[in-house]
Structure 1
Amino acid sequence: MLKAAVIRQATPGDWMELGSLQARSYHDAYRGLLPNAFLNRVTAESRQSGCRERLRDEMNYIAILLVDKRPVGYMSLRFPSDGQAEAGEITALYLLREYWGHGLGTRLIAWGLERLRDYGCTTAGLWVLEKNAGARRFYERQGFRPDGQQRVILRGDEFVQLRYEKEIRL
């Protein structure tokens, strides 16, 4: 049974913990889906410098999920620029594997959608790896649907991502 879970906005001082969390949860999410040679380059150190920069950028909003004061998940949001004030984006959502299946991802999504709604967004989009069936099912249970857009990303090889979207009611 999980004890108290808290979601809060990450602060610049969280860069070190967040980098470690990102590396570990990324491995949990993509083991068996992305090449090991690529995953081996994803380390706490390689993520920490990026976290330091992202936590300074006001257009990126990063939240940390704490269970018993321990970081176990995070999500990143991108608020729209002035010309596209209706569409926000979830740019990342990851949990440590041992916390999957406890409703924490659903709590993170709800929390993030509320932030986007508060910002004035009417839709939320995200990109998901085409071959990540588990993540696709999760997002579909949250009400996200493919919008027909695709892109190819390079993660040691080429992979297709699908764009999902959900309407946010104000």
Structure 2
Amino acid sequence: MIRTAVPAEAEDVVALHARARATYYPDGIPQDGTDWLASWRSAIERPDGHVLCVVEEGRIIGLASFRTPKDAPRDTVKLFQFHVDPDHWRSGVGTALHAACVEEWRADGKRTAVLDVHVDNRRAQGFYARQGWVPDPENPPAEGDHHLFLRFSVNGE
């Protein structure tokens, strides 16, 4: 089942986030001082954002967080976080979650979606390419940056 996350699930969301991110940081997730529990609770509670989750047998196994950034056109949405439990990779969970995101974006009148993905996260890059995401021509990678910027046409244009 895919549904909106609720604040009481923030700890479960953080745990999934950590499991997924750990797979592309070979030396462990950098400790940058971010309070992930507060960040996810804020994302879930934001009136201008949305966090979708995939729930299977009462457990969150996928999640996506998105909203329109303040500095972006109104018809653009940014996918800030997209994670699937590593035990469920290649099972269709990510594809179903992505489709649910696109459905919401279309319903909200979005035309373009953007995201950034860590350069070492080749698995995610392949997933996004299969969904139709392409390098963002307006945001080429900067020298030394650890992220690639991708763009998606919500209406397939």
Task: Please classify the TM superposition score into its range, dividing by the shorter chain length.
Answer: 0.7 to 0.9
1:106 aligns with 2:95: yes
* Number of residue pairs the alignment of both structures matches: 154
**1:14 Cα deviation after fit:** 1.7
1:129 aligns with 2:118: yes
Counterpart pick for 1:8 among 3, 6, 9 = 3
Counterpart pick for 1:62 among 45, 51, 58 = 51
Distance 1:83 1:16, change over 3 A: closer
1:162 paired residue number = 148
For 1:34-113, what aligned pairs fall within 5 Å after superposition? 35-36=27-28, 39=29, 41=31, 46-79=35-68, 81=70, 84-113=73-102
Aligned with 1:121: secondary structure? coil
Consecutive unaligned residues of structure 1, counting only runs of 5 or more, are: 1-5, 153-157
RMSD across aligned positions (CA): 2.5
Aligned with 1:66: secondary structure? strand
Counterpart pick for 1:143 among 132, 143, 149 = 132
Matched-pair contact (CA < 8 Å) for 1:129–1:159: no
**1:132 Cα deviation after fit:** 2.1
Given the two structures, how large is their TM-score scaled by the length of structure 2?
Answer: 0.85
1:18 paired residue number = 13
Consecutive unaligned residues of structure 2, counting only runs of 5 or more, are: none
Aligned with 2:46: secondary structure? coil
Matched-pair contact (CA < 8 Å) for 1:150–1:160: no
Measured against aligned partners, the alpha-carbon deviations of 1:141-163 in whole angstroms (never above 9, x if no partner) come to: 101110231456xxxxx642111
Matched-pair contact (CA < 8 Å) for 2:19–2:86: no
Given the two structures, how large is their TM-score scaled by the length of structure 1?
Answer: 0.79
Measured in 2, the distance between the counterparts of 1:72 and 1:159 equals 29
Identity of aligned residues (%): 25
4+ runs of 1 displaced by more than 3 Å? 80-83
Distance 1:85 1:40, change over 3 A: closer
